[in-house]
Amino acid sequence: GENVEQHPSTLSVQEGDSAVIKCTYSDSASNYFPWYKQELGKRPQLIIDIRSNVGEKKDQRIAVTLNKTAKHFSLHITETQPEDSAVYFCAARISYDKVIFGPGTSLSVIP
Amino acid sequence: DTAVSQTPKYLVTQMGNDKSIKCEQNLGHDTMYWYKQDSKKFLKIMFSYNNKELIINETVPNRFSPKSPDKAHLNLHINSLELGDSAVYFCASSQFENEQFFGPGTRLTVL
């Protein structure tokens, strides 16, 4: 069935270090891969996304890579700051109207 | 201006009651969704509506019924509430195969 796995479930890093979150998806028809950040008590908000015809995308301290052959995609955050602490969700869009989310990664950045 | 809004923000009710959550988007999007986020933070898609037509109906109890009076609104009605229905419910919208915009969430507590 359609599934998105995400690892690790929790991640603690020192301020200034890098954080990497990895996801895998099962449906080869997936063509759009967004990443959402959810702060405590808030709504999920898009931080970066990538489409299947692109291998890498970067926006300041955040980058995402996609390996369609292996059905892997990853989020990289460099020079982490305390305000990066949140739950991060990867997702895969399977069709026009269906998006499957990973289980989330709780990131803690220690000052 | 709020892009996706939900009411109420908090809902506390007794088991067996019937309740509704309202959602409105002013983005002109053609697809709207309802997600349930449980205590473990997992985001599970419940329904999506495209141009007032139900596209997905995941394996949710038929006590849950989405109602869309028009393209900008997707309400969620829940009958005979149970303890296990306690969660945060998020409405979202999107256009074509682009990012989803989430509402602020409704925290439902069933006593």
Residues of A within an 8 Å Cβ radius of B = 31-32, 34, 38, 42-46, 49, 87, 89, 93, 96-101, 103-104, 106
Asked if B102 lies within 8 A of A44 by C-beta distance, the reply is yes
Task: Dump pLDDT digits (tens) for B84-99.
Answer: 999 999 999 999 878 9
Q: Are B107 and B39 in contact (CB under 8 A)?
A: no
pLDDT in tens, B27-74: 999 899 999 999 888 999 998 898 777 877 778 899 999 998 888 999
B102 and A103 within 8 Å at the Cβ level: the answer is no
For chains A and B, what is the number of CB pairs under 8 angstroms? 51
Distance CA B99, CA A86 (A): 19
Q: In the structure, what pLDDT confidence band is assigned to residue A1 with cuts at 50, 70 and 90? A: low
Task: Write down the mean pLDDT value for chain B.
Answer: 92
Question: A43–B104: do the CB atoms touch at under 8 Å?
Answer: yes
A94 contacts: CB under 8 Å, gap ≥ 6: A2, A27, A29, A30, A100
Q: How near does any CA of chain B get to the CA of A81, in Å?
A: 23
Q: What is the pLDDT of residues A14-44, one digit of tens each?
A: 999 999 999 999 988 899 999 999 999 999 9
More confident residue, B104 or B39: B104
